[in-house]
Amino acid sequence: MSILATKDTHVVIQGGVAGVNAARRMAEFRYMIKQPLNVSAFVYPPDAGKTNEIICGTELIMIPIYKTVAEATANHPEINTSLVYIGADRAYAGTMEALNDPHIKTVSMITEGVPEKDAKLLGKHARKLGKTFNGPSSIGVVSAGECRLGVIGGAFDNLVACKLYRPGSFGVITKSGGLSNEIIWICSQFADGITTAIGIGGDAYPGTDYVSYLEMFENDPQTKAVVIVGEMGGDLEERAAEWYGAKKRRIKLLAVVSGFCQESLPKGMKFGHAGAKEGLKGEGSARAKSEALKKSGAIVPDTFGALGPAIKATHEELLKSGQVKPIPDLAASDMPRLPKTVQESMKEGEVLVTPLIRSTISDDRGDEPLYQGYPASELINNGYDIPHVIGLLWDNRLVSKQEAEIIKRIIMLSADHGPCVSGALTTIIAACAGIGLSQAVAAGMIMIGPRFGGAVTDAGRWFKYAIDNKLSVDDFLVYMKKNVGPVPGIGHRVKSLKNPDKRVKELVGYVKSLNMATPHLDFALEVEKVTAVKKDNLILNVDGTMAAVLVDIGFPVDSLNGFFILSRTIGMIGHWTDQKRQGSRLIRLFDYLVNYASPKRREVPPLK
Amino acid sequence: MAKVLEGPGMGLLRKWGISTPNYAVVTSSDEFDQLSQVNDWLQKSKLVVKAHEALGSRFKLGLVKVGLDLTAAKAAVREMLGKELETLTIKQVIVSEAVDHKEEYYAAAKSTRDGVDLLVATCGGIEVESNWDKVKHVSIETGETLSDSALSSLVKDAGFSGDTASKMAEFLKKLYACFDNEDAQYVEVNPVVLSGQGELVALDAVTLLDGDAKFRHKDWTFPFAAEFGRAYTKNEEEVMAVDAKVKGSVKLIEIPGGNIAMLPAGGGASVYYSDAVVARGGKLANYAEYSGDPPDWAVEVLTEKVCSLPGIKHIIVGGAIANFTDVKKTFGGIINAFRKAKAEGKLQGVKIWVRRGGPNELQGLAAMRALQDEGFDIQVFDRKTPLTDIVDMAMAAK
């Protein structure tokens, strides 16, 4: 048996993230005692109609979210308890809603910082309705082996360590959340553990006081003794003393009260919870409370530290008188265990998982990215440059200084080609239509293909094919004409032999000045000699030149378009920023730039 | 609880129709000069000048001057502003109009568990202290309204009669309206005086508001004052600023002259730790507390302040077994601040005592224990050591 939170408790949680977290903790508890989750619903208007996902052992349970308490209880008539996790400014209305619902008998409020007046009104309203309003600022309620309301009891390991999987003989009532857990632990180590532990909250005027719960414990045969952890301020401890001393009680009462330090502190200095304050005339001091409790017959140790031995002595007395029987401890193998997550199991070497993807280039699990195992900062500090990073990430190798220089020149030469080319123009049109940077650049990027900038990979592929197969220029051209079509990397829209492409000249000149073998570039230049004779503009273009050079320095064919995409991104970002800076307006094509070749206006025939 | 200084307290009484003397809160002599040129009452009436700070025993400190004319008031304002006291500098004074009166009464409203007690007496000022039996009260239950009949029998019971009785009943009605609507916890008007014009006037007020209700009082633009007869220190204010920003809470109160520094977790446990220090004859250097799983940086700020308390010999990093405060994370903040303090040459000869349990306790305690290798004088205990035993050990160690 237990009080307040029992095996018959069914819960609606009012609130958002904190409420979901509480539900997860409650699910852990239910898993420990091998019972189904007792949270039936959430009430949280912003997410009404959705569900919250609660892990319960190895299962994921979907708990519905409603707009109102009434909807929740109509759909889940078993609900009899509400936990309030609503912000202080809306907690009053939410709690009223729960108290006024006929299904709900108990409301426990975790919310802190609730105005005193609101708490008093809620307490009074609950008493009028014969219901229990626990809190505000309550850590929750836990009944060993039955039910947990809120996060009281802490992490799963602590629940097990405190033997909360089965009932003991001690009831606990505290104002402090942290100390409730401490007492639960002490009861499990110095005695046989708890029946129910209740946090009533540390506010000045909690909705329910010690006496209400002492009455309940008195009527719960499983509970043999109750531990109260009190504080200076208010008169709740005095009322408890009065109740205990009024007549012979079945339960034993143990109590400690904090706040003795107040006697030697500067006047008016106030510590601890909101409720922990002496009256203006010194009433409600720790000493007055302790005295009152002692007088009532309660066991009142002088310090918190002496509480453990006092609980132990009480338990031994109960054993001796036969009121409680020793409870054998569970064997270590029978202790409840939470299922492990995949991560935990892997860490402990218990499972093998087949990875979904494989990456051979980089690793960012540490404090900085590793490119092929080299920390980025060390590359920087050792004088490496962007082309080296490209080499590491595109070709899994550190390129030489000379190769890096070639890559750098390629990027610089192809970074931009003015506003008129397909890519830049598209980016500009998008920018003028108010499209964001990443989308506008992506729009320009889409233009890169067989006719614009996207011929690098294909050019590289076929030059490489020719060299690998030792084809002569003539054989190559025949092969291409028969099987492929125009040679990628040959030909230009405006440039020609007479009007050569300066970028090509520049790149070829530089590469030829180096002491390196350039079989692909040499072959491409030989091809140009033949094609340019046939037609003036069938020259080796910049795509073809880049491709031949990059294949010469060993880059894989599939990465080659990347050099154009990378370089041209610099230009496209420039065009987008340029239009933004100018505050450019929407572009619309002039009619005179369109040849309207469609039929003239005519009669629409009747629909047949 | 949030104390409000006299100026804003008077303002709230006025808002609810209670007469107060004319008053002005000033921050400079120039401002007062300007005010005196445009306010008739400052030129014609006898004036009272008081330091407008959270200070106890202002009379004793010479920070209340009565019966002044404008010239004397100007001198008093000049003298008080900028005066350095032990814990604060006076930045504001309140100048109010003296009210001619014969009779002084007492009226107050205070929050109780069941509602509100409304108190009244025919004696006021300092006399009420020695005549507490003359103070009569009526209790208004939570959610109930105050009836006129209850009011009139209260004032009669207290010994008011005739015209004054009905005036006092009216006064108390307004006081209750102010109390109830302003989410007050305690309002004491002492004295209430009967002026020459036959009007009840609130001469002085102690006002405590419910700080938690600030969200529904947009006109509470005034700052709350410290409640313990001194202004907040810079460190306390900095910790309060952090507290206002974060989830969970961090709290600090400095107690000059102590040598046992406190850095415990939990609003409940922290007081038991303080009790244990006092019970063993130790002198607290501060009160501190963190709870509700605050971010590590907030705990770090709190720890920095605790490490800079002068003359400390021990730091008590205590705590119960947390429900949901992450021990590893919050200890991370404490450890960062410890390291920083040590690098700044603080913590020399300071012994640190740790006891804690809760989520991730093993990792948190291990991280603390590892500080021994960095040269910290630190002892670390887990949940198996009773809560306040580290205080016993610390006190035995000196």
SS (H, E, C) chain B: CEEECHHHHHHHHHHCCCECCCEEEECCHHHHHHHHHHCHHHHHCCEEEEECCCCCCCCCCCCEEEEECHHHHHHHHHHHCCCECCCCECCCEEEEECCCEEEEEEEEEEECCCEEEEEEECCCCCHHHHCHHHCEEEEEECCCCCCHHHHHHHHHHHCCCHHHHHHHHHHHHHHHHHHHHCCEEEEEEEEEEEECCCCEEECCEEEEECHHHHHHCCCCCCCCECCCCCCCCHHHHHHHHHHHHCCCEEEEEECCCCCEEECCECCCHHHHHHHHHHHCCCCECEEEEEECCCCHHHHHHHHHHHHCCCCCCEEEECCCECCCCCHHHHHHHHHHHHHHHHHCCCCCCCEEEEECECCCHHHHHHHHHHHHHHCCCEEEECCCCCCCHHHHHHHHHC
Residue intervals of chain A classified under CATH 3.40.50.261 are 11-263+278-328
Task: Calculate how close chain A gets to B93, using CA atoms only, in Å.
Answer: 23
Cβ-defined contact of B183 to A115 (cutoff 8 Å): yes
What is residue A335's predicted lDDT score, i.e. its pLDDT? Answer: 86
| Check whether domain A11-263+278-328 has CATH 3.40.50.261, yes or no | yes
- Residue B270, chain A, CB below 8 Å: the answer is yes
* Residues A562/A394, Cβ–Cβ less than 8 Å: yes
pTM: 0.82
Q: What's the confidence (pLDDT) of residue B127?
A: 83
> Which member of A125, A155, A271 has the closest CB to residue B359?
A155
* CA separation for the pair A74, A43 (Å, rounded): 12
Q: Is A305 close to B392, i.e. CB distance below 8 A?
A: yes
Restricting to B residues 316-345, those with a Cβ less than 8 Å away from any Cβ of A are 319-325
Question: How far, in Å, CA of B255 to CA of A73, rounded?
Answer: 52
Question: Are B321 and A113 in contact (CB < 8 Å)?
Answer: no
A246 is written with which tokens? 């009024």
| Beta carbons of B267 and A273 less than 8 Å apart | yes
Q: Hey, are the CB atoms on B268 and A258 less than 8 Å from each other?
A: yes
Please, which residues have CB within 8 angstroms of residue A219's CB and are 6 or more apart in sequence?
Answer: none
What integer pLDDT is reported at residue B262 of this predicted model?
Answer: 97
Q: What gap in Å lies between CA A8 and CA A38, rounded to an integer?
A: 9
Cβ-Cβ contacts under 8 Å, B266 against chain A:
176-179
Report pLDDT for A278: 54
Partner residue opposite B229 with nearest CB, options A113, A204, A267: A267
Instruction: Name the closest residue on chain B to residue A120, using Cα atoms.
Output: B142
Give the CA count within 13 Å in the CB-facing half-sphere of A234.
Answer: 22
Give the residue carrying structure tokens 């007469």. B19
CB B83 within 8 A of CB B68: no
Domains of chain B as residue ranges with CATH: 22-97 (3.30.1490.20), 101-216 (3.30.470.20), 234-397 (3.40.50.261)
pLDDT given at position A495: 87
Nearest-angstrom CA–CA distance, A141 and A153: 9
Chain A residue with minimum CA distance to B116: A117
Testing the interface with B: which of A112, A160, A182 to mutate, by most B Cβ within 10 A?
Answer: A182
Residues of B in contact with A273 (CB under 8 A): 267-268
Q: Which regions in chain B score pLDDT beneath 50? A: none
Enter the DSSP assignment of A8. Answer: T
Distance (Å) from the alpha carbon of A114 to chain B's nearest alpha carbon? 6
Q: In terms of DSSP bridges, do strands A374-375 and A370-371 run parallel, antiparallel, or are they unpaired?
A: antiparallel
User: Which residue spans within A490-547 are E strands per DSSP?
Assistant: none
- A81-85, strands of its sheet edge to edge: A51-56, A59-66, A39-43, A11-15, A81-85, A106-109, A132-134
- CA distances for A232 relative to A237, A276, A297, angstroms: 9, 5, 19
Rounded distance, CA B151 to CA B157, Å?
Answer: 10
Q: Which of B115, B255, B279 sits opposite A260 (nearest CB)?
A: B279
In this complex, the residue of B213, B272, B357 whose CB is nearest that of residue A115 is B213
Q: Which of A153, A183, A188 is nearest to A167 (CA)?
A: A188
The contacts found for A535-539 with CB under 8 angstroms, 24 or more apart, are: A536/A496, A536/A497, A536/A498, A537/A491, A537/A492, A537/A493, A537/A494, A537/A495, A537/A496, A537/A497, A538/A490, A538/A491, A539/A490, A539/A491, A539/A492, A539/A495, A539/A496, A539/A497, A539/A500, A539/A501, A539/A504
Contact B294, B302 (CB under 8 A): no
- Selecting from B143, B266, B320 the residue whose C-beta is nearest the C-beta of A124 gives B143
Q: How far is B69 from chain A (nearest CA, A)?
A: 35
Taking CB atoms and an 8 Å limit, are A231 and B271 in contact across chains?
yes
Nearest residue of chain B to residue A262 (CA atoms): B275
With an 8 Å Cβ cutoff, are B274 and A271 in contact?
A: yes
Residue A390: its H or E element: helix A386-395
* B143 vs A121, A153, A270: nearest CB: A121
Distance from CA of B17 to the nearest CA of A (A): 22
**Chain B residue with minimum CA distance to A269:** B228
Q: What is the ipTM of this complex?
A: 0.91
| β-strand pairing of B351-355 with B378-381 | parallel
Please check whether residue A231 is in contact with residue B272, taking contact to mean a CB–CB distance below 8 angstroms.
no
- For residue A529, which phi and psi values (nearest 5 degrees)? -55, -40
To the nearest whole Å, the CA of A269 is away from the closest chain B CA by: 5
CA distance A72 to chain B (A): 28
Q: Is A273 a catalytic residue?
A: yes
Catalytic residue of the set A273, A315, A417, A492: A273
Report the distance separating Cα B240 and Cα A333, nearest Å: 48
Give the helix/strand (H/E) hosting A570: helix A560-582
Nearest CA in chain A to B143: A121
Task: Assign residue A142 a region (left: φ > 0; alpha: ψ between -120 and 50; beta: otherwise).
Answer: beta
CB pairs under 8 A between A and B: 186
Helix, strand, or coil here: A110?
coil
Query: What is the structure's pLDDT at B141?
Result: 95
Whether chain A has a CB inside 8 Å of the CB on B389: the answer is yes
Interface test with A, best of B227, B252, B272, B290 (most A CBs within 10 A): B272
CA angle (A37 as vertex; A35, A39 as ends), nearest 5: 145
* Predicted local confidence at residue B85, as pLDDT: 81
Nearest CA in chain B to A150: B323
- Give CA–CA dist A488/A533, Å, rounded: 17
- DSSP designation for A339: P
Distance, CA of A267 to chain centre: 46
Cβ atoms within 10 Å of A136's Cβ, excluding its own: 32
B387 touches chain A (CB under 8 A): yes
The pLDDT, as a whole number, for residue A179 is 94
CB contact under 8 Å between B269 and A182, yes or no, is yes
Contact A272 B268 (CB under 8 A): yes
- Packing angle, helices A519-534 and A542-552, rounded to 10: 160
Query: Which of the 8 DSSP states describes residue A192?
Result: S
Q: Which residues of B touch A113 (CB under 8 A)?
A: 212
From the list B284, B320, B386, which residue is nearest A181 (CB)? B320
Q: pLDDT value at position B225?
A: 84
Query: Residues 6 or more apart from A157 whose CB is under 8 A from it?
Result: none
Residue A111 vs residues A15, A147, A149, B288, B396: alpha-carbon distances, Å: 10, 20, 14, 22, 40
Taking 70 as the pLDDT cut, the residues of chain A under it are 266-282
Chain A interface, best mutation among B387, B388, B389, B390, by max A CB count within 10 A? B387
- Would an 8 Å CB–CB cutoff place B177 in contact with chain A? no
Give the chain B residue whose CA is nearest to the CA of A236.
Answer: B113
The reply to whether residue B324 touches residue A205, judged by beta carbons under 8 angstroms, is: no
